């Protein structure tokens, strides 16, 4: 994913850690000549956790400030397999798109089919009437980084669905 971002001239904005999947994505992006910007929370800015070889690393006092800064800097959002933090950021980003706070593309890199159970849940919520079909389409999902970037580039925000959901069309 990191290499694909760099090859497409896309700057990586992420949480600033050196461990796990995102640390590897950051390394891959930098190795391919890409720009990598980390925004880390103060409590995680330690030698064991913080990535010190980034293009730029910014420290924020709280997780809320960190997320707000990342959202401000990003032109789109990609979730890779992860845990509660990934889900929190993904669903907050989706909710903000649903209510019209932003119109940026949101992607899921479906590595090893990781996000298929999540998409099944989203489809069930749509079937039960909790999600408009247009809002489900806020999510791009692909198995490879290149396919995901193409999907996200083709993203069209469902402005009419936002208006309908917010009851602005009545």
What would the pLDDT profile of 9-37 be if each residue is shown by its tens digit? 999 999 999 999 999 999 999 999 999 99
Nearest of 106, 111, 63, 113 to residue 84 by alpha carbon: 63
Ramachandran region of residue 83, left (φ > 0), alpha (ψ -120 to 50) or beta? beta
Residue 40 pLDDT > 90: yes
Residue 166 pLDDT > 80: no
User: Domain residue spans in the chain?
Assistant: 1-74, 76-170
Each residue's pLDDT tens digit, 58-106? 999 999 999 999 999 999 999 999 999 999 999 999 999 988 889 999 9
Distance CA 41, CA 101 (A): 23
Q: Do domains 1-74 and 76-170 have the same CATH topology?
A: yes
Task: Give 47 or 134, the one with higher predicted confidence.
Answer: 47
Mean pLDDT of 38-58: 96
Q: Which two tokens stand for residue 71?
A: 């959202």
Cα 156 to its chain centre, rounded Å, is: 16
pTM over 0.85: yes
Distant-in-sequence, close-in-space partners of 84: CB < 8 Å, separation ≥ 6 = none
Distance CA 85, CA 160 (A): 30
CATH fold, domain 76-170, is Rossmann fold (3.40.50)
Q: Could you write out the DSSP letters of every residue in 39-85? A: EEEGGG-STTTB--SSSEEEEESSHHHHHHHHHHH-SSEEE-S--HH
CATH fold, domain 1-74, is Rossmann fold (3.40.50)
Residue 5 pLDDT > 60: yes
Residue 170 pLDDT > 50: no
- Strand segments (E) across 120-163: 139-142
- By CB atoms closer than 10 A (0-12, 13-18, 19+), residue 33 is exposed
């Amino acid at each position: 994913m990191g290499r694909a971002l760099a090859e497409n001239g896309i700057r990586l904005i992420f949480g600033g850690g050196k461990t796990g999947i995102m640390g590897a994505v950051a390394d891959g992006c930098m190795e391919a000549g890409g720009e990598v910007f980390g925004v880390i929370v103060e409590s995680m800015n330690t030698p064991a956790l913080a990535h010190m070889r980034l293009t730029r690393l910014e420290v924020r006092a709280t997780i809320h400030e960190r997320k707000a800064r990342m959202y401000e800097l990003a032109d789109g959002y990609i979730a890779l397999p992860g845990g509660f933090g990934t889900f929190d950021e993904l669903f907050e980003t989706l909710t903000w798109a649903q209510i019209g706070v932003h119109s940026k593309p949101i992607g899921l890199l479906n590595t090893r089919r990781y996000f298929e159970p999540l998409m099944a849940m989203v489809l069930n919520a749509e079937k039960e009437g909790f999600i408009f079909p247009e809002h489900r389409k806020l999510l791009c999902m692909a198995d490879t980084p290149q396919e995901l970037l193409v999907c996200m580039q083709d993203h069209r925000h469902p402005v009419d669905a936002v208006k309908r959901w917010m009851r602005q069309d009545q």
